[in-house]
Amino acid sequence: MNNFNMKNFVHFDKMLTPAIIKIVFWIGAGLSVLMGLIMIIQGAGAYYGGGASIFMGLLTIVIGPFVVRIYCELLIIFFKMNETLQDVKTLLAKQNKPVNNDENKN
């Protein structure tokens, strides 16, 4: 995290969640592969209908990490939009000069 200071932390100006989302992705991908392996093992040991379980296990191993990745990317998009809006707000605040209230009185 660049430019971390306590003021940004206390005022929620800098988001910590995007870094946590990357960890969530790896946990989710690992769990997806683990669940796929469990499904394959259960299917291999089943007397009836094991082929479908093996197929679903393979599908879970292949597609599961992609689904987790897409979900995490969608979450990160919201945080990137927030950071961009904060940057726009800061730039606009630097460009705008305070308005003289005497000129605006009618």
pLDDT tens per residue, the chain (106 residues)?
Answer: 455 677 776 766 667 777 889 899 999 999 999 999 999 999 998 888 788 999 999 999 999 999 999 999 998 898 889 888 988 888 888 888 665 555 555 5
User: Does residue 68 form part of some domain?
Assistant: yes
Q: Which of 92, 36, 101, 89 is nearest to 64 (CA)?
A: 36
Q: How many domains does the chain have?
A: 1
- Pairwise CA distance, residues 74 & 77, whole Å: 5
The domain in which residue 41 lies consists of 29-79
DSSP state, 96? P
User: Does residue 51 form part of some domain?
Assistant: yes
- Pairwise CA distance, residues 22 & 87, whole Å: 23
User: Does residue 75 form part of some domain?
Assistant: yes
User: Does residue 5 form part of some domain?
Assistant: no
User: Is residue 15 within 8 Å of 84, Cβ to Cβ?
Assistant: no
User: Does residue 43 form part of some domain?
Assistant: yes
User: Does residue 18 form part of some domain?
Assistant: no
47 three-state secondary structure: coil
User: Is residue 54 within 8 Å of 11, Cβ to Cβ?
Assistant: no
User: Does residue 94 form part of some domain?
Assistant: no
Predicted structure pTM score = 0.67
User: Does residue 11 form part of some domain?
Assistant: no
